[in-house]
Copies of this chain bind each other. A is one copy, B any other.
Amino acid sequence: MHADTPRRTAADQPAQRIATMLQLLQDALPLQKRLVHAGDVVCQVGQPFQCLYVVNAGFFKMVNLSDEGREQVVGLHFRGDWLGLDGIATGRYGCDAVAMDTGEVWAIPYDTLIEASIRTPALLGALHQAMSRELARDHDSMASLCTLPADARVAGFLRYWADAVSQRGLRADEITLRMTRAEIGNYLGMTLETVSRALSRMARGDVIRFKEKGRRDIQIPKVEALTTFMQQARTPSAALALH
């Protein structure tokens, strides 16, 4: 893993797309920039919908408060993602957007966005792409919730995270989860103990490694090993290796 200068890797394309989109927004709109810290709530379920928020830095979880207080993480968002999209239809936000780290979001009043899109049609493209992408991502999440066993879901989660950061131009072989096991488990539909066990199994199989002093930083020597781990987790066949 020598640090070769990355020229035009496959990950560059999304990075370019995100950078271009953020630039477009800055040029075409008066943005209200807002700094956030871990735990800050960007927009809250039930509040009247006014603004969309675009993530310029940091990362965020979307939390759905289902009926009686039960919290459910329904999405994770990184730089370039939009927050608050599910408020357009009803006029009220459908989720809390909670910062998991210090970061910055740009508030864009929806009305302003629509107006500006007359002069700058590319704004619509950006919005539509963001929504469409989230739809596709949600479908993938549902598929993995429905079909994959716990181990495979955790592996898929790590792969998703690694993809997300690598698409943003960061190194993906060493990720630092800014979520507790409980939050991960909530997002993946399992308990924190199951998350912990899955990670332990992956570490035992050398699919991942924990950085010394802290089990939040995870090294991923080979991202494709996650994929193979997912596949073999689906079949109970070769479960005998490493009891």
Contacts and interface: CB of A to CB of B under 8 A. Distances in A.
A87 B135 CA distance: 9
Interface residues of A, number: 44
Given A94-B136, A124-B114, A143 B66 contact: yes
**Which DSSP category, helix, strand, loop or mixed, fits chain A's interface?**
helix
Contacts of A50: none
A169 to B, nearest CB: 19
A64 B142 CA distance: 10
Interface stretch (A125-133, A158-166, A175-183, A200-208): A125-133
A140 interface: yes
A5 interface: no
Nearest to A95: B139
Contacts of A133: 89-90
B135 A86 contact: yes
Contact of A136 (B86, B139, B145): B86
Contact of A129 (B88, B129, B145): B88
Interface string A105-147: 0000000001001100100100111111111101111111111
A169 B134 CA distance: 30
Contact of A64 (B118, B127, B140): B140
A58 interface: no
Interface in A186-213: 186-189
A142 B139 contact: no
A136 B90 contact: yes
10 contacts: A74-B138, A85-B131, A89-B130, A89-B132, A89-B136, A90-B133, A95-B139, A131-B132, A145-B145, A146-B187
